[in-house]
Structure 1
Amino acid sequence: MKKLGILIVLSLIIFSCKSENKSGESNLIRGEFIFIDDAAVIKGTDFIYGVVINELTHELAKKIEPLQREEYDMVPVVIKGIVKPNPDEGWEEIVEIKEIIGVSAPTSELPTKIKSPDGEENTEKSGHEGHNH
């Protein structure tokens, strides 16, 4: 029973690593990463950060590329980075990657694609938004 309590506390500590850090220390960040046309984003359950483009960002992009099932597929990653306010337009906060901890294969299903009569691909969302029955 004591081990279960320790595991729960440890899990909470690990999953709450997305903290406001004013001292410039690296945070452990778990989220889904995507890099497209010199822009990168990492998205977690309760945050979205723009990513500072640096050598480690390019290295992470190379690591996720073989795991992407399509060009816009986000891949789960664990990194250490410094979260700071974004001085430019875009995301409210940005993260500068300091260390790549791990990369794993995406687990969610890809959206269903539908070809319209003119040959363009559209993404089908589940549910019936905007439909009156």
Structure 2
Amino acid sequence: MKKILTLLLMFSIFTNCKNDAKTETPIDDTNKTVEQNDGLTTLNGEFSYYEDAAVLQVGNSAIYGVVLNEKMHELHKMGKPFRTEDTDGVLVQVRGKIIPKPEGEEGWPYSIDIKEIISVKEPSVKKEVIKIGK
């Protein structure tokens, strides 16, 4: 009887244990449609560009570096009417390729290479900024 219980226990342990290789990635495939099966991801967030650094903040915790290219500069120009200060962000919806940071390089864990601009809007809530200095 002990042999049968031991055999059943071993069988259940081996069938329930798997070695799933999990990788950490921010890519959310729920925003893709059949027509958009091109490897690009749609992101909604606040875009900011100042002195050769651009970021896209998605939600409260995810921040992507933005590749400095023509589309990024086009996005910056489209948001100009909505900014009162150079450091202000604008709400955007973009499609692009998510690029992981190369090992040993400084910066955000992921960057986005913007390929398509869907929309640019003024933030609904103005953030209070405290300026220090002249």
Using structure 2 for the length normalisation, give the TM-score: 0.66
Distance 1:62 1:90, change over 3 A: same
Q: Which has the larger radius of gyration?
A: 2
Aligned to 1:39: 53
Residue 128 of structure 2 is aligned to residue 111 of structure 1:
yes
Residue 94 of structure 2 is aligned to residue 94 of structure 1:
no
Q: Give the CA deviation at 1:113.
A: 3.3
Aligned mates of 1:50, 1:95 — CA distance in 2: 6
Residue 92 of structure 2 is aligned to residue 77 of structure 1:
yes
| 1:80-114 C-alpha deviation (Å, 9 max, x unpaired) | 01111022311010000010000001111231536
Aligned mates of 1:99, 1:34 — CA distance in 2: 17
Aligned mates of 2:72, 2:118 — CA distance in 1: 13
Contact preservation (8 Å) 1:33, 1:77: yes
Residue identity opposite 2:78 in structure 1: K
Aligned mates of 2:131, 2:108 — CA distance in 1: 31
Contact preservation (8 Å) 1:68, 1:106: no
List gaps (5 residues or longer) in structure 1: 1-16, 122-133
Residue identity opposite 2:67 in structure 1: V
Instruction: Considering fraction of residues, name the structure with more strand.
Output: 1
Residue identity opposite 2:118 in structure 1: I
Contact preservation (8 Å) 1:75, 1:105: yes
Contact preservation (8 Å) 1:49, 1:91: yes
Q: How many residues align?
A: 99
CA RMSD of aligned residues (A): 2.3
Q: Percent identity?
A: 36
Instruction: Considering fraction of residues, name the structure with more helix.
Output: 2
Aligned mates of 1:79, 1:59 — CA distance in 2: 12
Using structure 1 for the length normalisation, give the TM-score: 0.66
Distance 1:83 1:24, change over 3 A: farther
List gaps (5 residues or longer) in structure 2: 1-25, 30-36
Residue 67 of structure 2 is aligned to residue 58 of structure 1:
no
